[in-house]
Amino acid sequence: MGLFSSGTSNSPVLNWEALKNNGGLGSSKYTYRTKVPGGWLISSFVSEGMGLTFIPDPKHEWDGNSL
């Protein structure tokens, strides 16, 4: 089976958690995070498109709030 094969009973699952956004014009409308090895995978959606980034946090200590 390949990397993107589907239909297996032991397929990995990403559990996305919605983050609240308080921003002005141009800020993302929807932002989500999921735990991955070594940190967080962040997904943001705006009217013009989307973005995906990795935030290193090996102990998953980040609570989702801005600093």
Mean pLDDT score of the chain, rounded to an integer?
Answer: 84
Query: For residue 4, is it within any domain?
Result: no
Report how many domains make up the chain. 1
> What's the domain range around 39?
17-56
Give the mean model confidence (pLDDT) for residues 28-43: 92
**More reliable by pLDDT, 46 or 51:** 51
Query: For residue 33, is it within any domain?
Result: yes
Query: For residue 44, is it within any domain?
Result: yes
pLDDT of residue 1: 46
Query: For residue 37, is it within any domain?
Result: yes
Query: For residue 11, is it within any domain?
Result: no
Which stretch of 1-5, 35-39, 45-49 has the lowest confidence by average pLDDT? 1-5
pTM more than 0.85: no
Query: For residue 39, is it within any domain?
Result: yes
Q: In what order do the strands lie in the sheet with 17-19?
A: 17-19, 30-36, 39-46, 49-56
Q: For residue 29, which phi and psi values (nearest 5 degrees)?
A: -80, -35
3 state DSSP class of 63: coil
Residue 46 has pLDDT above 90, yes or no: no
